[in-house]
Structure 1
């Protein structure tokens, strides 16, 4: 069993972080396998949706604190056993070559990505959930941007994602204080999309995914790209982009199938 498990079933890919004894804290093996899994989700046309979750009582604790204290872990040694902390530039490059590849790959995936936050999601672990489109949390989950407790900054995209979701002031407060939220507090702040009783989490996620999978998948993916690109566009640019996507979608089989279904429901 590796540090990350990857399976595909019924057009749904599942990434399971698999270091339960370390609360699914990062390892180099986990990072490497995570990157491979995201490339497969991005490039495999038979995969229509991705899920990220954790094994055990945590979603992801982010960096391995014990390894940090001992100067070990995935940010300590390169593949040739050289010290990644030898210079500031070495630290920067190690982030760029490893963990920062994950948000960059996530940004290239037009398919829905769902974070199933089964337990604790701390620091970079929370940021990994924020990279997903939808976050479904167990009522047992706890979440926090805890970098300040280790005296470091968010290195994998938290400073980008969190203020876009909850606003600048609320994001700064979370980063500055390291406050840990329970699932319902996270829901109130819109950090998560749904909170579900822990024993019902799997069934809820299965039903949720099935509803999206019923829809024309090409259009689902186009909608995701429209929403993401529009965040950095002017209104005119967004409308121009949307008109191009509409021109494609109305000639797509998914449109014809949808019209046929609507006709069967409403035309007597």
Structure 2
């Protein structure tokens, strides 16, 4: 288990990595130190061939309240660095986003392994956006979810305005972003914001059960399927089919495919 203070990355023997937001006294709101540790934990998961699925969850009563405005506006979260004002002008404000929290969605885009959010409690603003960046979302029935940027006169700084409309559609995304209203877990499921809702004391176990199912699948095909789906709306049909044929050529040349094909042939002969 790797512990980076407010981020804990546990590598389980079953191939599931659990990344836990561990700043419950601040409702798991993000500091610079937390974001940096989060980024390095994702890099670790990406490069570890033994880890097949990542589950993102949190400790305490909340999943995440989003960015810690006070901590993020100062350099106080950087280990070993003096406190500096990172938001003193527009250029610094832009760089503070690009060099820190925006690195998370860009790295997640490179990860072909499944990443599942286990939303154990309220997910607000950037906290919700971090769950939206995942491939699937399991949610506690007690959780409330909302985009709260409008209440401070802000825009989503981490890509929420990119991910939310892809999941719930443009009109609903605009409604949620414009009003900043919070929705219940069940209402979030109705609009497609989350995929599964379970009692709070069961949601982590249910998430892990699903992760185990994914771990049991052929991993090469699983990851190529994710890449195909994630790119489906970014390229033309011709380019997509060209990509599919390339992936098919590769997966049918793997030991996984040959083994499964031989097993199927043997079974059909019985």
2:32 to 28, 32, 55: 28
1:194 to 196, 204, 208: 196
Distance 1:261 1:75, change over 3 A: farther
2:164 aligned counterpart, secondary structure: helix
Determine if the alignment matches structure 1 residue 91 to structure 2 residue 96: no
Distance of 1:192 and 1:261 partners within structure 2: 36
What CA deviation, in whole Å up to 9, does each residue of 1:89-124 have, x standing for no partner? Answer: 100001000000000000010000000000000000
* Residue of structure 1 equivalent to 2:57: 53
- Structure 1 residue 266 displacement after superposition: 3.7
* Residue of structure 1 equivalent to 2:21: 17
Whether the aligned pair in 1 keeps the contact of 2:55 and 2:208 (CA below 8 Å) is no
- Structure 1 residue 80 displacement after superposition: 4.4
Query: For 1:72-221, what aligned pairs fall within 5 Å after superposition?
Result: 72-77=70-75, 79-221=81-223
1:14 aligned counterpart, secondary structure: strand
Whether the aligned pair in 1 keeps the contact of 2:16 and 2:212 (CA below 8 Å) is no
- Structure 1 residue 209 displacement after superposition: 1.0
Distance of 1:55 and 1:267 partners within structure 2: 51
* Residue of structure 1 equivalent to 2:44: 40
- Structure 1 residue 14 displacement after superposition: 1.1
Query: Stretches of 4+ moved more than 3 A in 1?
Result: 263-267
1:73 aligned counterpart, secondary structure: helix
Measured on the aligned residues, the alpha-carbon RMSD in Å equals: 1.3
TM-score, length of structure 1 as denominator length: 0.94
Gaps of 5+ in 2: none
- Structure 1 residue 260 displacement after superposition: 3.2
* Residue of structure 1 equivalent to 2:67: 63
2:249 aligned counterpart, secondary structure: helix
Whether the aligned pair in 1 keeps the contact of 2:124 and 2:147 (CA below 8 Å) is yes
- Structure 1 residue 208 displacement after superposition: 0.6
Instruction: Count residues with an aligned counterpart.
Output: 262
Whether the aligned pair in 2 keeps the contact of 1:3 and 1:27 (CA below 8 Å) is no
Determine if the alignment matches structure 1 residue 226 to structure 2 residue 228: yes
Distance of 1:216 and 1:206 partners within structure 2: 18
Distance of 1:203 and 1:59 partners within structure 2: 16
Determine if the alignment matches structure 1 residue 4 to structure 2 residue 2: no
1:13 aligned counterpart, secondary structure: strand
Gaps of 5+ in 1: none
Distance of 2:225 and 2:146 partners within structure 1: 30
Worse-superposed segment, 167-176 or 258-267: 258-267
1:223 aligned counterpart, secondary structure: helix
- Structure 1 residue 60 displacement after superposition: 0.8
